[in-house]
């Protein structure tokens, strides 16, 4: 069922601050208003205890649900590729575009089983005022973490990010008996490309390959630059057959990729090795088997895909 929508609202930090000052310094507050102000103070204190976006929004939803009859929260921030939903998103909803000094803090949608009257909306927006500064800090923290886990040249994840992702995926594999596979990819004759056309051409080839890899994969799959001209792909919930299909599709796409260097067209190719996580297997052993399959692909003539034996 489509949710019944109320008029979308925009929270501006300037007007929100004025509203909060009005609450703090009004001499005509009723007892209930004083109680609400105390709840806002406690909400502010709790929101200052975490820089993790999911925990921060969970705290906010939990506390505000005691003030306003909410059933769900949906939040997204495109700049950090973050999305979160808490509860069942149906019923009446009210949407907010959150911003600070022209910086987008994301889109927030709150859902209620009943229509939210204007006095309650005013209370809700005072609560949102308490969220703005902690949310901005959490987004800055997330951006800093993301930057530390990205390869600066290609935008793919770096080795540290790969280790973290593999730890998470192998743990999910152990707990839920779902397959996880890795593909190790190495660009063929990359040194020759650098020596013939220069390192700028090599950098352009790496960037183009990283972009192609992201386009070829699902949203749940991950791309990491392993070092030099090597990439590692982590395929969530994918067994050996699925990984082999993906690897072969990527190999063919790279083979058809044409790099323009000056007035010359340069063809690229890559060799790939696939391995699927086995029960009790360590990250290092999983990567080692993928690397062995990659080595076999190179030994067999390059521009090939090979799958590791069990």
Which positions are catalytic? 229
Residues near 289 by Cβ (< 8 Å), separated by ≥ 6?
275, 308, 309
Helix, strand, coil: what percent of the chain each, to 5?
50, 25, 25
User: CA 203, CA 154: separation in Å to the nearest integer?
Assistant: 8
User: CA 35, CA 264: separation in Å to the nearest integer?
Assistant: 73
Q: Among all chains, which residue has been given the structure tokens 């925990």?
A: 55
User: CA 110, CA 96: separation in Å to the nearest integer?
Assistant: 9
Q: Are 112 and 92 in contact (CB under 8 A)?
A: yes
DSSP of 153-185: TT-SB-HHHHHHHHHHHHHHHHHH---EEEEEE
Residues pairing with 306 in the sheet: 273
User: CA 148, CA 222: separation in Å to the nearest integer?
Assistant: 16
**CA angle 26-31-33, nearest 5°?**
55
Nearest to 272 by CA among 200, 185, 197, 211: 185
Nearest to 184 by CA among 273, 305, 97, 83: 273
User: CA 252, CA 269: separation in Å to the nearest integer?
Assistant: 8
């Amino acid at each position: 069922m489509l949710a019944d929508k109320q008029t979308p609202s925009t929270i501006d930090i300037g007007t929100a601050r004025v509203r909060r000052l009005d609450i703090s310094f009004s001499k005509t507050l009723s007892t209930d208003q004083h109680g609400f102000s105390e709840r806002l103070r406690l909400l502010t204190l709790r929101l200052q205890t975490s820089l993790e976006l999911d925990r921060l929004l969970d705290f906010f939803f939990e506390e505000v649900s005691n003030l306003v009859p909410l059933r769900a929260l949906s939040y997204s921030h495109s700049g950090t590729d973050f999305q979160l939903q808490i509860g069942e998103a149906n019923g009446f909803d009210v949407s907010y575009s959150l911003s600070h000094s022209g910086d987008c803090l994301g889109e927030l949608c709150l859902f209620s089983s009943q229509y939210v009257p204007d006095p309650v909306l005013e209370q809700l927006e005072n609560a949102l005022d308490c969220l703005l500064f902690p949310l901005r800090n959490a987004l800055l923290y997330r951006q800093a973490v993301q930057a530390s886990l990205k390869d600066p040249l290609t935008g793919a994840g770096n080795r540290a990010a790969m280790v973290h992702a593999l730890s998470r995926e192998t743990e999910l594999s152990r707990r839920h008996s779902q397959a996880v596979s890795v593909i190790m990819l190495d660009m063929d004759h990359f040194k020759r490309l650098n020596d013939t056309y220069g390192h700028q051409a090599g950098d352009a080839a790496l960037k183009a390959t990283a972009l192609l890899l992201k386009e070829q994969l699902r949203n749940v799959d991950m791309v990491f630059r392993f070092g030099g001209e090597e990439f590692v792909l982590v395929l969530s919930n994918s067994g050996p057959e699925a990984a082999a299909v993906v690897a072969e599709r990527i190999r063919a796409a790279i083979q058809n990729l044409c790099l323009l260097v000056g007035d010359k067209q340069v063809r690229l190719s890559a060799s790939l090795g696939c391995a699927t996580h086995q029960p009790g297997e360590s990250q290092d052993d999983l990567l080692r088997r993928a690397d062995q399959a990659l080595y076999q692909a190179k030994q067999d003539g390059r521009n090939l895909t090979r799958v590791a034996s069990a």
